């Protein structure tokens, strides 16, 4: 009984430390992935080998090859872009209001259900 309780607590802990994120490839193919809190949206994609995010610089906000479009309802829910992210977006293609660099979005409980779409090409 006590052990069961402990296991439930542990499972809850594991659950709460993840957020479900939906990555949609340019051709519409969807990947729904549990990403650990503290990782970036980019790292979630790379670890799960989701195509469409290159992340050449490895997350140093120095290359703009992890460009994604966040779903409209998420644009204002995410923490604001800092200057370096806005600067780097100059080097992305087809930048829109919803454009973000996924290496600059850190996963947390608040991001449960986040939807990001990949551009046609990381150029």
Partner 1 sequence: MSETIKTDCLIVGAGPVGLFAVFELGILGLSCEVVDNLDKIGGQCAELYPDKPIYDIPALPECTGLSLIENLQKQIKPFNTSFHLNERIDQISNEGDLWIVKTSANKVFETPNIFIAGGVGSFEPRKPPIESVSMFEGKGIEYSILNKDYYAGKKIVIFGGGDSALDWTVELSKIASHITLVHRRDEFKAAQHTVNLMEALVKEEKVDLITNHQISDVSGDTRIKKAVIKDKSDETQEIECDEILIFYGLKMELGPINNWGLNLNEKQISVNTENFETNLPGVFAIGDISYYPGKLKLILSGFHEAALASQKAFVRAKPDETLTFRYTTSSSDIQKKLGVK
Which chain residues interact with partner 1 by CB under 8 A?
56-58, 60, 62-65, 86-87, 89-91, 93-97, 120-121, 123
User: CA 65, 66, 71: angle at the middle one, nearest 5?
Assistant: 135
Tell which residue, 47, 75, 51, has the closest CA to residue 59: 47
Contacts of residue 25, defined as CB under 8 A and 6 or more positions apart, other chains included, come to: 31, 50, 51, 52, 118
**CB-nearer residue toward partner 1: 55 or 105:** 55
- Residue closer to partner 1 by CB (options 58, 79) is 58
Nearest C-alpha neighbor of 41 from the set 99, 95, 121: 99
3-state class of 16 per DSSP? helix
Nearer to partner 1, 116 or 122 (CB): 122
Comparing CB distances to partner 1, the nearer of 33 and 57 is: 57
Least distance from partner 1 to the Cβ atom of residue 62, Å: 4
């Amino acid at each position: 009984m006590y052990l069961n309780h402990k296991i439930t607590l542990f499972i809850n802990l594991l659950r709460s430390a993840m957020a479900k994120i939906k990555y949609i490839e340019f051709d519409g193919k969807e990947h729904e992935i549990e990403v650990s809190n503290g990782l970036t949206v980019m790292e979630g994609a790379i670890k799960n080998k989701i195509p469409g995010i290159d992340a050449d610089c490895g997350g140093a906000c120095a290359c703009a090859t992890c460009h994604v479009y966040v779903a409209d309802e998420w644009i204002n829910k995410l923490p604001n872009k800092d200057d370096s992210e806005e600067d780097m977006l100059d080097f992305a293609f087809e930048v829109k209001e919803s454009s973000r660099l996924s290496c600059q979005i850190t996963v947390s409980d608040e991001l449960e259900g986040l939807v990001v779409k990949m551009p046609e090409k990381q150029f």
